[in-house]
Structure 1
Amino acid sequence: MDKQDIAAAKAARRSTLKSLKAKRECRIKDIQEKAAEEIRQVNIQFSSDPERLKAKYAADAAYRSERSKRRALKAQKKAEARIAYEIKMKREERLFSFGEELFNSITIGIGAGLSVAALVLFIVHAVNLSPEAVLGRTVTSYTLAGVFLFLLYLMSTFSHALCSYSAKRVFRILTYDFAFLYASAIMSLFALVIIRGAAGWLLFGLCWALAVFSVAFYSSLEAKPSVRKTGMRISALLFAALLIAELILLKPLLTVVPVKLLILAAVSCAVAELFHTMKRVRWTNCIFHLLMIIANIFCFFTVYSILP
């Protein structure tokens, strides 16, 4: 027998085995159904009140049928609500053109690659230059900052690269969630590595409490844009207040923190957010992503240079 004959024989054997398995499963199912029916008949036959038992079985069957109908109706209503929401969001939001989505996917993908390099450099830098007294918290803070930056860019890449609107919505939520976590990680790094002490730990706790609140609020109210926007404005104001408090505490340590890089990162982020608010205009979202990459580069060099 040549190779083709052997392959044909193997294929025939596999097909036969699958057919036998399917027949066996079908036969077992038939036997089980017949056995269940016979058991019901025996119970009715030897019952003291056969009519009552028949009524019980009929009621059970009707209940199961009604419950399945309710479940199907509930699933149908959820599907209709989801479709209605998607139609509404598509009308309210401007859908990006193919060129915009392609440009966004490429630039954010480049940002994701740079964030991997930043993560590796953060860990190596923290391990090599961190003081022994704060080695653990320093390495952890740098690692979290790098990991959340990478996940932020990864989720954003998926949100622009995928075609399904539902998938885009899910990854857009995750993008904002990791943006909150990344901002908290950066602020926590300054609090634990530079400020330290009771004030540093207080800022650390406030940062992560605000991050958890922002993530939960945005994720749960994504289907209610008006309420979500109000909550995000409050969250942004609280983040700004924490940043101002952190800058006040960092003032005596300005020789350690490169102020120019920090200011450039903040200005780039503010200008990027301005373009983000104009995303109904074509290509403004692309400019937003480019400015955010520039802001994160400035932020990287700021954080990278605070260790002696």
Structure 2
Amino acid sequence: MEERLNAVTHGIGTAMAVGGLVVLIAAAQLYGTVWHLVSFSIYGVSLVLLYLASTLYHSFTDEKLKYIFKIADHAAIYLLIAGTYTPFTLVVLHGALGWTVFGVIWGLALVGIFYKIFYAGRFKILSTICYLIMGWLMVICIKPLILILPTMGIGWLLAGGLLYTVGAGVYLWRRLPYNHAVWHIFVLAGSICHFVAVFFYILPIPISS
């Protein structure tokens, strides 16, 4: 029963992510620069990959297929973290700081993916801590972000981070009934917050008077 809930929750996330990717690309082409288009595409694709990998992992019963998609699911978390950083580093921060953070976070993501390929299912607590550290590295850029992004944009960004963090705690709380499905809901909520931050506060959409 729980695996069905896990598959359904992130199946919904997959559909939302695909729709979000289409909207991001279309809006970036209409209102943004080439950097909006590139970074939004990377971010949107990382969303789709995460939710699709998770849905497939929780859908299959064959042990070999399940193991393959388990690796993909866990590796995709690193992709989403780095993908979420991308619009903020290449569009909002840009310059030396933006490219430095971009390089560091994608370097860490590649290391994490390599680790997941060879050590899938091991060191769960350590892996969760690594996800959280990567996610909250953005605080080193909080001052320039506050100067550039509207207050509400910062609010949505932080709200997403907090939802992911609380969700990680739920994920580790093994005694909580349906903890994995509840964690999925927190991940969905965090993704929605970050999507709002990216779409409404990084893209310069003109407002009709």
Shift of 1:182: 1.3
Whole-Å Cα distance in 2 between the matches of residues 233 and 106 of structure 1?
Answer: 23
Deviations 1:35-61 (A, max 9, x none): xxxxxxxxxxxxxxxxxxxxxxxxxxx
Aligned to 1:214: 112
Q: Looking at both structures, which has the greater relative contact order when contacts are Cα pairs under 8 Å and sequence separation is at least 6? A: 2
**Aligned partner (choices 87, 93, 103) of residue 189 of structure 1:** 87
Output the TM-score relative to the length of structure 2. Answer: 0.89
CA contact (8 A) 1:210 1:235 kept: no
The correspondence of residues 142-291 of structure 1 with structure 2, limited to 5 A, is: 142-222=40-120, 225-226=122-123, 229-230=125-126, 232=127, 235-236=130-131, 238-240=133-135, 242-255=137-150, 258-291=153-186
How far apart, CA to CA, are the structure 1 residues paired with 2:198 and 2:13? 17
Task: Find the counterpart in structure 2 of residue 104 from structure 1.
Answer: 6
1:113 aligns with 2:31: no
Percent of aligned positions that are identical: 27
Letter paired with 1:102: R
The secondary structure found in structure 1 opposite 2:22 is helix
1:307 corresponds to 2:203: yes
Deviations 1:56-79 (A, max 9, x none): xxxxxxxxxxxxxxxxxxxxxxxx
Q: For 2:177, what is the secondary structure of its paired residue?
A: coil
Deviations 1:205-225 (A, max 9, x none): 1111111111111211226x2
**Deviates most, 111-120 or 271-280:** 271-280
Deviations 1:216-236 (A, max 9, x none): 11211226x24x754x36633
**AA matched with 1:162:** F
Per-residue deviation, 1:248 = 3.0
Task: Show CA shifts across 1:248-267 (max 9, x none).
Answer: 33121132761221222122
Matched pairs, number = 203
1:246 CA displacement? 2.6
For structure 1, the 5+ residue unaligned runs are 1-98
| Aligned-partner Cα distance in 2 for 1:169–1:215 | 15
TM-fit CA distance, 1:139:
0.7
Q: Supply the AA of the counterpart residue of 1:294.
A: A
Structure whose alpha-carbon radius of gyration is higher: 1
